[in-house]
Amino acid sequence: MFLKALDTIHVSSVSSDNIISGQTFEIDDLGGRSLIERGLAIEVDTAAAKPEPAAKAEAQSVKPPQAEEIAEQSPIANKAGAHTRKKVA
């Protein structure tokens, strides 16, 4: 059955990501009835419904640290207290 989420929910049998409010998804009848009874989703017409992928946050570009930035970071010490290397982000 196809459902439309009324709130942000997590259904592990559907997706490892959260299902956001307004997103349509497909689920088995037993799980779907449970979500409908709890007021978390409504059933939608299967002809009009297409499962929508969850909107993922766009990855921010991460620039590697420059040599000057690495030199400014504190060194990492081993168990004996001797400094062995510089800490890299």
pLDDT in tens, 6-42: 989 998 888 888 999 999 999 999 999 999 999 999 9
Asked if the structure places residue 50 within a domain, the reply is no
Asked if the structure places residue 6 within a domain, the reply is yes
Q: The whole model's pTM is what?
A: 0.52
Asked if the structure places residue 16 within a domain, the reply is yes
> Tokens at residue 64, please?
């590697």
Asked if the structure places residue 18 within a domain, the reply is yes
- Predicted confidence at residue 30, as pLDDT, reads 92
Asked if the structure places residue 62 within a domain, the reply is no
CA–CA distance, 4 with 14 (Å, rounded to integer): 13
Asked if the structure places residue 20 within a domain, the reply is yes
Q: Which residue, 63, 57, 61, 58, is CA-closest to 89? A: 63
Domain that holds residue 14: 2-43
Domain count for the chain, please give it.
1
Asked if the structure places residue 31 within a domain, the reply is yes
Asked if the structure places residue 86 within a domain, the reply is no
- Predicted confidence at residue 89, as pLDDT, reads 54
